[in-house]
Structure 1
């Protein structure tokens, strides 16, 4: 499904380029947790951004936005790392380790940091700010290419459901998929969000819902280790297509939001 980092990247980009207010960013984050808090992983990063260190009391995201403004940050990037692919996280440092565990991160190249969210209590999401060891050029994935891959993935995901006989083990499978997909509708987006990004994110949510149901074990039942391995192998390329689609959709949104500011000047 979608994740808090997608929301933070898109809304922060809109805010940085004058297409949203700071309060809009904070309101959008509210979908993911009632309370968001921010803390730096090390004292050096804390000092550089004027944020609390690891042994200090966390602050709210409003102070993070103020820090980004002071640091003259102009862009935010989404990273969705998986085992074997942690590009964009500056190598095998702490940022990569924690981002891989979370499956998501926000990278702020101008500030030389990355943020990783973690649910630390019921209704409390903590963003930890890590040093970004090195900054590498972002890989550009054309949204058209990603959308085409996602369309193929949708057909393959439907076939996988039949092949894996998910419906027989889960009689309410269609409702499960619909409910999971509907969660995406709760998310809000900036006024300047490009329609194509919205469409791709929605389709990614639909395929992601199918994959989530297909990858989960049947209630009250167990499948063999060989069947589990076959299932995971069948779903892996589909998961990659969803991941690439989300990255491309967010990259396109950030580009369009940035261009809108340029057009106003």
Structure 2
């Protein structure tokens, strides 16, 4: 889960655009990232998919004043508020964007296209109706930061106790490499986000990377099925905390406006 979710890029740079802090071209360039193209399907008044620039402008005219992120997982509808059809689509994608000011949500669907050796991702955002209600299980930025500090300690202790390959120098080297890649030509968040949100998002990604490394680098000393199951169970709440923190960071601008800050 250490990779940046597409919903995070759309919400962050969409919020910066709605606030007048970036140009439409810069926002779209940042949202698309390394993908080939993004289109939006299902916008009211549009019979065919449209480009991101037109879609973001249309959402503004429909009354959208902010964008929130949802990162649900089985048994954890993080950031969702219904209805069931939208929640199911978001759960399948493991992410979604919820509009503030209009009852719409956007769920991404990625496709691989191109010949062998030149495969690229094309993304379609499906616009669907959502229920206007408080999102599920989203902490404040302060709560997320406190939870993450404890989660990072727990993740390190669990991996070390179970002798997992993601807990030692290999993990630290991978984290340093990830930080270097993240620091080259890409902002952690879009303009307008508070420094605390940047700090929380960076820490959430670090925790997520530790969990991913544990899965990718083998089982270490946890050779039995029961030991592997114990490791998975031990890390599940840590992974949930990291996802909650990501959502808190991406949504902090919208939540801050709502609180009058």
**TM-score per shorter chain, which class?**
0.7 to 0.9
1:123 corresponds in structure 2 to 121
User: Cα RMSD between the aligned structures?
Assistant: 2.9
Aligned to 2:165: 167
In structure 1, what is the equivalent of residue 62 of structure 2? 71
Deviation of the 1:181 alpha carbon: 4.7
CA contact (8 A) 1:38 1:61 kept: yes
CA drift at 1:242: 0.6
Determine whether 1:248 maps to 2:248. yes
Unaligned runs of 5+ in 2: 113-119
Aligned partner of residue 183 in structure 2, secondary structure: helix
Shift of 1:76: 1.3
Query: What SS is found at the alignment partner of 1:91?
Result: coil
- Tell me what 2:97 maps to: 106
Counterpart pick for 2:82 among 71, 83, 91: 91
Q: Is the 8 A contact 2:67 2:251 kept in 1?
A: no
Tell me how far 1:136 sits from its aligned partner.
Answer: 0.2
TM-fit CA distance, 1:227:
2.7
Runs of 4+ that moved beyond 6 A:
168-171
Aligned length: 248
When residues 236 and 62 of structure 1 are mapped into structure 2, their CA distance, relative to the original with a 3 A threshold, is same
For 2:254 and 2:59, locate their aligned partners in 1 and report how far apart those are by CA, in whole Å.
16
Give distance in 2, aligned partners of 1:144 and 1:169: 27
2:45 is matched with 50
After superposition, residues 180-219 of structure 1 pair within 5 angstroms as 180-185=178-183, 187-188=186-187, 189-216=189-216, 218=218
Aligned to 2:146: 148
Deviation of residue 254 (structure 1)? 3.0
Query: What does the per-residue CA deviation read over 1:33-55, in whole Å, with 9 as the maximum and x for residues that have no partner?
Result: 12111112xxxxx4xx2234xxx
SS of the equivalent of 1:145 reads helix
Contact map agreement 2:166 2:217 (CA 8 A) in 1: no
The answer on whether the counterparts of 1:197 and 1:252 sit within 8 Å (CA) in structure 2 is yes
Please, which of 23, 26, 39 is the counterpart of residue 37 of structure 1?
39
Structure with a larger share of its residues in helix = 1
Going from structure 1 to structure 2, the CA distance change for 1:168 and 1:11 (only over 3 Å counts) comes to closer
Q: Does 1:136 align with 2:133?
A: yes
Query: In 1, distance between residues paired with 2:196 and 2:232?
Result: 30
Q: TM-score, normalised by structure 2?
A: 0.83
Post-superposition Cα deviations, 1:139-179, rounded to whole Å, max 9, x if no partner, equal 66221111011001111111122122123899844333333
* Local SS of the residue matching 1:167: coil
In structure 1, runs of 5+ residues without a counterpart are: 41-45
Q: Is the partner of 1:6 in helix, strand or coil?
A: helix
CA-CA distance at 1:69 after TM superposition: 1.8
> What is the rounded CA distance, in whole Å, between the counterparts of 1:136 and 1:70 in structure 2?
22
Are the aligned partners of 2:197 and 2:250 in contact in 1 as well (CA < 8 Å)?
yes
